[in-house]
Structure 1
Amino acid sequence: MRRSLALLSAGLTLLSAGTALAQNATPHNLILFVPDGLRALKVTPETAPAMAAVRDKGVNFKNPHSLFPTFTMANASGMSTGHFLGDTGTFSNTIFTGYTVKPAGDTVVPFIENDAVIGDIDEHFGGNYLNEETILKLARAQGFSTAAIGKVGPTLIFDHTDRADRPGLHSIVIDDSTGAKNGVPLSDEMTAALTKANLPLVAPSRGDNGKAGDAKTPGTLVANTAQQAYFADVASKVVLPMFKDRKKPFVLVFWSRDPDGTQHNTGDSLNTVTPGINGPTSMAGIKNADNNLAQLRKALDDLGLSATTDVMVSADHGFSTISKESKTSPAAKASYEDTPKDFLPMGFVAIDLAKALGLPLFDPNDKNAPVADNAHPKAGNGVLGQDPAKPDLVVATNGGSDLIYLPNKDKKLAERTIKALLEQDYVSGLFVDDSLGRFPGTLPMSEIALKGKAATPNPSIVVNFRSYVAGCDEPTNCSVEVADTVLRQGQGMHGSFGRGDTMNFMAAIGPDFKAGYVDPLPVSNADVGMTIAQLMGLHAVAAGGLVGRVMSEALPNGITPKASDAKIVSKPASNGLQTVVKYQRVLSQRYFDVAGFPGRTVGLDAESGKQKTAGK
């Protein structure tokens, strides 16, 4: 029934938007600009004038939403397909694939921001692990010019299939791996065009921006300027002129690693949560992304393309400062060579669960070697059980939330795992695979669009980590979250269900959008994919029904549906903890604001669990 309602909702908005765009028989061009990890309220005319101009002169989506878990690859899958994660199977940046992924270092828990890894997973899951068609593939099949430029991983996702032996027929893909053995090959046309423009055929590295530091050494103090200047030059000096010469509509995706990469690695706040991600280095990352957008828009002006090109700006997620503190975690009480005393090590969830469940812990990123006392898994991931090749439990470490998989679907083990997690002060909300049953203190994954037609294995438990506010009066600008990561306290992370992470920046401008319009309705990254498909006249055959909606209210003559607020509250666990989800609804579409245990999540106060609402 829910899938039918979702499809009906999408159909109604498609019809309304179609009426608004009926006068435009030939689709306009479109640029999707993604400032990775940009917090909505950090954009001002002073900090980011180019993005502020798009917002203030075009459409200001003042009620934006990242998809949860609030990670890059997860939201890239939503933007590129218009589907929620229950359909795309991209549940986080690190997932359990159920088989050994060789390009990821022979592990079952690959980090998927990697072109070769994406290709391997595609091959394993029938050629398209997303199980849904992407907007760039649909557009190029319809004769449009298409390109994706920027950060490795999410850039490729927009057209990730059929690329190895068809560089001239595939979308142009330029990312960190361009020119490398495992990168997407350049076509003869692009090779010649780059050479003519005196631009390298090999993408530059991040340089000092890629230095994360360690527990004693601060991370970077510079933005990712050199690498992104190359990407912006490729887009503005090569790709856009080429597309103009072709005289047909185009879709260009530009994925700016900044401010995300700079906020992650910032060296402004070693081992302290203030200024955290609000120091000068992070602000330089925001300005760097803004400069890239300004360069693209100037190129449109210079080429005479502005009047026929829509520009959509959508960050994949917000951002928070990392906390590594816990009073309850056994892992925090042990000593590690690379972790300050009393701080959580990376992999603390795997370590704590191994102790609580009495199961041996092995490192899937170290040839399944046993993890010794006072040590942690190299990448934080863990496989638990007597035989690491046939684990009872797998932890995929990600940051502001972790994924737990039970390959044997053991309901008793699920119950024990949930009990152990409910005892930890760093946990704020648990979501459990519907097939395992209902557990007090938790909510089913289907309630937050994590159960659909995914081809990849479904997580058994999603663990959201505690978040709080420190350093300023604006919660979404000064969110702090416990994070399971190699990065340090005071650096940046995302992935949680706090409003600091779910509130991304979104805006749009162009011939198919209203001018000077403030959109009060909730919108999401899944809506971005659906709206682009509508604007370009693209039609996909969907495998799943967890789809976004066309943002019709932002289009000339489009209808403006009504929105309402709702809440879902779990039954209390034995210690009284309840997982609460606050969301907004437009037609049958849910927009998830925050979730967790009341008082432990930014945007979810201690009173939130008292009024029980089914929210259905």
Structure 2
Amino acid sequence: MRFFTHSRRWVFLTLFVIAVIVACTASPGKRSGQTTQQQATQHNMIIFVADGLRPTWINATDTPSMNEIRERGVKFTNSHSLFPTFTTANASAIATGHYLGDTGDFSNTIQVNAPVKSAKNSLVPFLENNAVLQEVNKQFGANYLNEQTLLEAARKSGFSTAAVGKIGPVLIQDVTLQKGEPTIIFDDATGTPTGISLSSEVSEQLAKNSLPTAAPSRGDNGKPGDSKTPGTKVANTTQQQYFADVTTKVILPMFKQRQKPFVLVYWSRDPDGTQHNHGDSLNQLVPGINGPTVQAARQNVDKNLAQIRTALKDLGLEESTNIFLTADHGFSTISKESKTSYSATLSYPEVPKGFIPPGFVAIDIAQELKLPLFDPDNKNATVDPSIGQFSKNSVIGKDPKKPDVIVAGNGGSDLLYLPNAANKKATAKKIVDLLLKQDYVSGIFVDDSLGEIPGTLSMEAIALRGAARTPKPSILVNFRSFDTGCGNPTACGAELADTGLQQGQGMHGSFSRADTFNTMAAIGPDFKQDYEDLAPASNADVAVTIAKVLKLKLSTQGKLVGRVLNEALVGGSDNIQYKSFTLKSLSAANGLKTILKYQTVGKTRYFDVAGFPGRTLGL
């Protein structure tokens, strides 16, 4: 009996020693599957959105802070924007964890139920505006997204919450916010009649730190130039420095003092705004968005992020705060050249000869249908392309108050609505037949109710059909994209774009891999270290992953949701199975097919590229 007891003690002692040795020598190497358990204390979260940042332009020289997060934390190398690849669309996904078929934020400019007073009484408002968002909310049950946002769930659970930066996507992060609620909002409109009011607590801290209560404008960075005058040659330094100072000198110290967990969304306008407006490449595809002004914009956003990380360290919050870095979309250089568009055969005072004007899709459709064209952003004024007129958005029909077609011009893709057409299927078929003849088109998606039209795929195939409250587009037209030849296609893509900006400036919105390939990385106590995640990930995964990390429950209406990125979390299994698929439409009469390439993890879909063969970069 004594021998048995003695032997058992030695066994227990030996196992204990082995466990200690293993614990002390384990290394969190590449794809290590770290197993350290999360601390019992509640952690914080910062979602840092570098608007329009292309992942292949992150490096140790220009963007050392972002590069460190990606290399020391989790690097999502198979990352995705949602399509259409626009800001408010992806902001809705980052906010809620739902695909666009549920949020109804199909692009930056969408059709709504009634004219929006704060958008010049337009039926197709541009959503990057607080007054517009609040008015659109009222049209759709006080929440046009129809889903709860992460920030709303966090503040209702007792977290401190804030959203700072670019107007539009910032308010979308807590879109049901009403006056007097606790989420702190700073954006371009702060200090103006359309800004979200600041509490006395915040105002006092601004004064204490000698910071104004009104956000500065973009200044010269906001000047896009025109067809004869180059755009900006400076990054958005002044405005973004204000937002960085507000975050580090006011918001984070307040959160520290409250001694409560927090969630903060910081939405950096750079490099997006500078890529849109830059003046390095007027009417030229090269260098396009890869000139010195955009390089300065990347450095600017990294400087802001570095300032936030330093503040976390100085406040003793670094060890308890996760940072999730993402971009709403990639970016491309604008092309305005078409050999088939009727619009390109006309002359316009503000458009170089032979280039397509803003609104070219609507001009071509109106010509094909032999119907008048009107401008919904200008009291439905008549638009006559034959005398050099065009409009950003368009209403087509004999009566502008009962249009056959509404065109929401967005950039790398456009939305077409058929609200009052006598025979929607016949009208849709005529429009599709026209679009199939255009060299600027690369892929067409149609509403499922219109039936199967050869050459097109359904909206359902790309998760644009769900529980959305907003009107559903009838046709989505994707524009042609191509490589400008720098040796790095996703960093040097170009696309035809329906925009008032010039050839050589920047745009996004297409189904090119240059636009769907966004930046994603994470670092902090809940994320693995030195880990490269090869599984597909997207902006729809951000909110649901963070909700799990912070132990928050997101209420849902629709079923088109992202997945929890378990493999990136401490203790999560590395064994994530994913598959690749190709979906092809029926052939059109001219042989064109819309082809979609996507990946899946379980039932979650990740859209890589789509379009016609040879007309979409990455297809």
| Number of aligned residue pairs | 583
- Gaps of at least 5 residues in structure 1 are 1-18, 605-616
CA offset at residue 372 of structure 1? Answer: 1.3
2:553 pairs with 1:539? yes
State yes or no: 1:423 paired with 2:437. Answer: yes
Aligned to 2:568: 554
Deviation at 1:341, TM superposition (A): 0.1
User: Which residue, out of 501, 525, 536, partners 1:511?
Assistant: 525
* Shift in Å, 1:471: 4.0
2:50 paired with 1:38:
no
Match of 1:297 in 2: 309
Q: In structure 1, how many angstroms separate the alpha carbons of the residues matched to 2:405 and 2:386?
A: 21
**Greater C-alpha Rg:** 2
Q: Does 1:215 align with 2:227?
A: yes
CA apart distance, 1:557: 1.5
Partner of 1:175: 187
TM-aligned CA distance change 1:375 to 1:484, over 3 Å? farther
Distance change in 2, residues 1:457/1:251 (3 Å): same
Alignment partner for residue 250 of structure 1, among 258, 262, 267? Answer: 262
Q: Is the CA contact (8 Å cut-off) linking 1:273 and 1:323 kept in structure 2?
A: yes
Aligned to 1:122: 137
2:64 to 22, 35, 49: 49
Map of 2:346 onto structure 1: 334
- Please give the secondary structure, in 1, of the residue aligned with 2:411: coil
Q: Give the counterpart letter for 1:579 in structure 2.
A: T
1:153 aligned onto 2:146: no
User: 2:585 and 2:207 mapped to 1: Cα distance?
Assistant: 59
**Residue identity in the other structure for 2:533:** D
CA contact 2:402–2:420 (8 Å) conserved in 1:
no
Within-5 A mapping of 1:216-365: 216-365=228-377
What is the alpha-carbon root mean square deviation over aligned residues?
Answer: 1.3
Displacement of 1:377 after TM fit? 6.2
Q: Mapping of 1:93-104 within 5 angstroms?
A: 93-104=108-119
How many angstroms does 1:161 deviate by? 1.2
Aligned pair in 2 of structure 1 residues 139, 412: CA closer, same or farther (>3 Å)? same
Structure 1 distance, partners of 2:390, 2:586, is: 37
Distance 1:106 1:329 in 2: 30
Q: Distance in 2 between matches of 1:388 and 1:111?
A: 19
SS at match of 2:48: strand
| Contact 1:563–1:584, Cα closer than 8 Å, also in 2 | yes
Q: Give deviations 1:138-184, integer Å, cap 9, x for gaps.
A: 10000000000000000110112142x31xx3300000000000111
The alpha carbon displacement at 1:43 in A equals 0.5
| Structure 2 gaps, min length 5 | 1-33
CA contact (8 A) 2:383 2:390 kept: no
- Mark the CA change 1:28 to 1:339 in structure 2 (over 3 Å): closer, same or farther: same
Question: What is the rounded CA distance, in whole Å, between the counterparts of 2:368 and 2:411 in structure 1?
Answer: 21
Match of 2:21 in 1: none
Match of 2:123 in 1: 108
Confirm or deny that 1:522 pairs with 2:536: yes
| Amino acid of the structure 1 residue aligned with 2:612 | F
Deviates more, 1:481-490 or 1:469-478: 469-478
CA shift in 2, pair 1:472/1:389, >3 Å: same
Q: Where does residue 4 of structure 1 map in the other structure?
A: none
Cα distance in 2, alignment partners of residues 22 and 141 from structure 1: 27
Percent identical residues: 59
Distance 2:387 2:543 in 1: 43
- 2:103 is aligned with 1:88: yes
Contact 2:347 / 2:388 at 8 angstroms: preserved in 1?
A: no
| Shift in Å, 1:562 | 0.4
In 2, Cα distance between the equivalents of 1:590 and 1:402?
A: 22
Give the aligned partner of residue 81 of structure 2.
Answer: 66
Report whether the alignment pairs 1:482 with 2:524. Answer: no
1:20 CA displacement: 8.0
Maintained 8 Å contact 2:38/2:570 = no
Which letter maps to 2:168?
A: G
Q: Output the CA distance in 2 between the equivalents of 1:186 and 1:99.
A: 30
Cα deviation, 1:228-268, whole Å, max 9, x if unaligned, reads 00000000111000000000100000000000000000100
Please report the TM-score for the alignment, with normalisation by the length of structure 1.
0.93
Counterpart contact for 1:403–1:461, Cα < 8 Å: yes
Give the structure 1 partner of residue 26 of structure 2. none
8 Å Cα contact 2:383-2:391 kept in structure 1: no
